[in-house]
Amino acid sequence: MGQYKRWYDHDPILMEVMDLLQYYQDDLIEQAEIFISRIEAQVGKETIDSYYESVKSLIKGNRWYDANPVLSRTIELLRIIPPEVQRKAAQTFIDNLKAQGITPEMMSEKTE
């Protein structure tokens, strides 16, 4: 298995979600909030809050998503969950967009 520069480079679905989040932050913030609420429902809001507080001091603020607290929290949670859960969460994210009539292709057309 090759070395990857970023934690999500190993999975094309994760890469797609990260690209969507990066380039369409305003459009997708609601989906990020839904993701956080689903994770909180599974492991508990206190657990999530505690984890995020423990890593917040380690965040240098240089990443594109650090400026937005919802995106920062969403991506940190996505980063630490097991790979099989990452993939499922990423696929669910894309499926939710499609259910709303939004496809990744439509998002890419916005920049053309």
Residue 109 in this model has a pLDDT that exceeds 70: no
Q: Which residue has the higher pLDDT, 109 or 14?
A: 14
| Domain contains 60 | yes
Helix (H, G, I), strand (E, B) or coil at 38: helix
In a domain, 6, yes or no: no
Is 72 part of any domain?
yes
Q: Cβ atoms within 10 A of the Cβ of 101, count?
A: 7
Question: If you ran DSSP here, which 8-state letter would residue 63 be given?
Answer: S
Mean pLDDT of the chain: 82
**How does pLDDT run across 84-96, given as a tens digit for each residue?**
888 888 898 888 8
Q: What is the pLDDT of residue 107?
A: 67
Of 3, 20, 46, 45, whose CA–CA distance to 102 is shortest? 20
Domain that holds residue 92: 12-109
Helix (H, G, I), strand (E, B) or coil at 47: helix
Indicate whether 7 belongs to any domain: no
Whether residue 112 has pLDDT greater than 70: no
59, 72 contact by CB (below 8 A): yes
Residue 78 lies in a domain: yes
Gyration radius of the chain over CA positions:
14
- Whether 26 is in a domain gets the answer yes
What value does the mean pLDDT take over residues 38-49? 82
Residue 82 has pLDDT above 70, yes or no: yes
Domains contained in the chain, number: 1
Q: Is residue 36 part of a domain?
A: yes
- The enclosing H or E element of 86 equals helix 83-99
pLDDT score of 34: 85
Local confidence band at 14 (pLDDT 50, 70, 90 cut-offs): very high
